Amino acid sequence: MRDTVVQSSVPALHTEGLRLEDGNHCLLDDITLRLCEDGITVIMGHNGAGKSVLLRVLHGLIPPSAGRITWRGDALTPEITRRQSLVFQKPVLLRRSVAANIDFILRARGLRDEALRWDALRRVGLLDMRDHPARRLSGGEQQRLALARALVTSPELLMLDEPTANLDPGATQMIERIVAETAVQNTKVIFVTHDIGQARRLADDVVFLNKGRLAEHSPAAAFFDAPRSAAAQAYLSGDILT
């Protein structure tokens, strides 16, 4: 756990007053975050708190109604988001082979190094399945392929939305190991999870959302030992929020 993760004066990802409205409904309200360059930021919060929509906004998939996002000091652009990856909870794979799913993203990024493709598949244990139709893989295998596809371009920022929600302990452990390795190789990681044990294993810092608002952002040890917000206290003790 790095002490600088929350206080860093030069945030890699900076959001200011981020707001997202859908009709009369406010999905994100005044989210101001400073995430440092290093480590794994875990986002937690009750169902419907806005974790997934926040990732989509951070990746430029949904334009915010108000507020600003900067990455390494620059306002978010398609050029910047191309250097970032988002892994969804339910992987969206092409109706092609495992290898072709990786090739597609390599071509889209103008990368022609064949070795990258095999390295990525080897890393997630899918090299032997390279010719299998991607959509016939099991849920866990599909998630590992989605992770390989996200990693093959060496993103500056990797965001994962509950990537192990439906996986068995072995597959979960593999994904946690790869994510932890990735975070020490110059990739900032933002990881959404409901699994408190997993958050304890992975997090350097924790962002806790409550009803679309930032309830707290704390170093992981402080968050798990003594959460400051009533919402996080209730969440960690398994209470239902009303």
Ligand X SMILES: Nc1ncnc2c1ncn2[C@@H]1O[C@H](COP(=O)(O)OP(=O)(O)OP(=O)(O)O)[C@@H](O)[C@H]1O
List contacts with ligand X (CB under 6 A): 22, 27, 45, 47-53
Q: Which is nearer to ligand X, 28 or 99 (CB)?
A: 28
Least distance (Å) between residue 141 CB and ligand X: 22
Q: Which two tokens stand for residue 15?
A: 């959001």
Least distance (Å) between residue 28 CB and ligand X: 8
Q: Which is nearer to ligand X, 49 or 58 (CB)?
A: 49
User: Residue 223 in contact with residue 216, Cβ under 8 Å?
Assistant: yes
Least distance (Å) between residue 51 CB and ligand X: 4
Q: Which is nearer to ligand X, 39 or 45 (CB)?
A: 45
**109: Cα within 13 Å, side-chain hemisphere:** 24
Q: Which is nearer to ligand X, 50 or 91 (CB)?
A: 50
The three-point CA angle 76-84-162 to 5° equals 110
User: Residue 192 in contact with residue 27, Cβ under 8 Å?
Assistant: no
DSSP states of 145-183 as a string? HHHHHHHTT--SEEEEESTTTT--HHHHHHHHHHHHHHH
Least distance (Å) between residue 39 CB and ligand X: 22
